[in-house]
């Protein structure tokens, strides 16, 4: 670890502890006693108010009401932050309007040489969803549904919510908020019907906190979900090409287990509700997306028939 990086990490380490000793610093950062003392003195010189305690068990602590000095970023950390901005450009993300001000603040923190590197990266690198002839296409205009930010603000305070969709109200315990195929979706436990459901954020009309008196405990909810877990009815063996496709896109509820140390073969196990026409259709399309590098151990007849029908439609 380079010195500038070690100093940054050490400052955060110190600031998060009420008390620390030289020995702790030596063990944590694998450095000598002289290096630890030298680093602590440099941190003090940067403005962090450390108070030394004398005695056998002495050490240091940060003076109360102190403020952590400005964090210094390494060149690689700056590039990592910038690439994260670039990779998510033109996606319907919450707090998208804050992107521009964040980028301006980031540029204001770094040197001219670092700024030149970022300008060069911006000219060379292109990510999915951008147009080479107009990389800024849709920049800050492809906004998500306005309810998304309100939903996030609500769930940060409480997972028990009362949501309204198409003039219907649903009391839910929010399990996950996720983005799939350019759509934001809520995976929640319906407290009234006592089962998991998926709700599209685009259909939300309102979000409120659910009354405390009517709630079921989180432990009780997870127990109910566990009892309702369906038996896997789709089991596939995946080769390297199918695994590569899986990494590009896979439904939230689907996962794989690698079957060799090189991660070139895997097994996929999941449950498909064949009575849900939309879910059945999506699964058929996704299996075709995975390609031919798959082998079925177990597959519902409805999926097999759907795959055969889709393949016949390709023939004249």
**Number of other CB atoms surrounding residue 209 within 10 Å:** 13
Q: Give me the residue spans of the domains in the chain.
A: 3-62, 75-124, 147-228, 234-314
pLDDT value at residue 259: 94
CA distance readout (Å), 28 to 10, 59, 266:
9, 15, 38
Helix/strand/coil for 36:
helix
φ and ψ at 91, to 5 degrees? -110, 150
| Helix/strand/coil for 190 | strand
In angstroms, the CA 227 to CA 243 distance is 30
User: Was domain 147-228 assigned CATH 2.30.30?
Assistant: yes
Q: How far apart (Å, rounded) are the C-alpha atoms in residues 35 and 25?
A: 10
Residue 285, token pair as written in the block: 């399309």
pLDDT at 186: 94
pLDDT of res. 138: 46
How confident is the model at residue 169, as a pLDDT? Answer: 95
- CB atoms inside a 10 Å sphere around CB 110: 18
- The string of pLDDT tens digits covering residues 260-275 is 999 999 999 999 989 9
Q: Are 148 and 141 in contact (CB under 8 A)?
A: no
242 contact partners, CB below 8 Å, separation of at least 6: 236, 290, 291, 293, 294
Query: In the prediction, which pLDDT does 54 show?
Result: 66
Q: Residue-wise pLDDT tens for the chain (316 aa)?
A: 788 888 888 888 887 777 888 888 998 889 998 998 899 888 888 777 788 776 655 688 777 655 555 556 778 888 898 888 888 877 778 887 777 778 777 777 788 888 888 888 888 887 776 666 665 544 545 678 888 999 999 999 999 999 999 889 999 999 999 988 778 999 999 999 999 999 999 999 999 999 888 888 999 999 998 888 888 999 999 999 999 999 988 887 888 999 999 999 999 999 998 998 888 999 999 999 999 999 999 999 999 999 999 888 877 6
DSSP code string of 294-312: EEEEE--HHHHHHHHHHHH
Burial (CB count <10 Å: 0-12, 13-18, 19+), residue 99 = middle
CATH no., domain 3-62? 1.10.10.10
- Give the phi and the psi of residue 45 in degrees, each rounded to 5: -65, -25
- Distance from C-alpha of 157 to C-alpha of 162, rounded to nearest angstrom: 13
15 DSSP assignment: H
Q: Residues 6 or more apart from 274 whose CB is under 8 A from it?
A: 233, 280, 300, 302, 303
DSSP state of 63: P
> What is the per-residue pLDDT for 240?
95
3-class state of residue 41 by DSSP: helix
Report pLDDT digits (tens) over 18-63. 788 888 899 888 999 899 889 988 888 877 778 877 665 568 877 7
């Amino acid at each position: 670890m380079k010195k500038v990086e070690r100093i940054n990490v050490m400052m955060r380490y110190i600031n998060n502890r009420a008390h620390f000793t030289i020995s702790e610093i030596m063990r944590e950062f694998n450095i000598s006693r002289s290096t630890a003392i030298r680093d602590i003195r440099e941190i003090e010189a940067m403005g962090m108010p450390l108070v030394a305690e004398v005695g056998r068990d002495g050490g240091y602590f940060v003076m109360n009401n102190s403020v952590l000095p400005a964090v210094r970023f390494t060149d690689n950390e700056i590039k990592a932050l910038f690439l994260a901005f670039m990779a998510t450009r033109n996606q319907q993300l919450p707090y998208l309007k804050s992107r521009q001000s964040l980028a301006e603040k980031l540029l204001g923190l770094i040197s001219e040489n670092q700024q030149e590197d970022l300008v060069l990266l911006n000219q060379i690198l292109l990510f999915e969803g951008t147009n080479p002839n107009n990389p800024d296409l849709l920049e800050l205009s492809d906004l998500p549904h306005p309810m998304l930010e309100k939903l996030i603000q609500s769930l940060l305070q409480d997972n028990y919510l009362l949501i309204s969709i198409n003039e219907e109200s649903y009391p839910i315990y929010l399990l996950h908020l996720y983005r799939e195929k350019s759509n934001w979706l809520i995976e929640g436990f319906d407290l009234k019907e006592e089962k998991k459901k998926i709700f599209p954020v685009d259909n939300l009309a309102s979000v409120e906190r659910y009354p405390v008196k009517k709630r079921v405990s989180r432990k009780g909810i997870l127990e109910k979900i566990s009892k309702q877990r369906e038996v896997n009815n789709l089991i596939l063996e995946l080769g390297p090409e199918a695994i590569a496709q899986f990494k590009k896109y896979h439904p939230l509820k689907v996962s794989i287990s690698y079957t060799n140390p090189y991660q070139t073969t895997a097994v996929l196990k999941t449950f498909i509700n064949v009575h849900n026409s939309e879910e059945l259709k999506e699964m058929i399309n996704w299996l075709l997306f995975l390609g031919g590098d798959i082998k079925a151990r177990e597959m519902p007849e409805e999926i097999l028939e759907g795959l055969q029908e889709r393949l016949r439609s390709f023939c004249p």
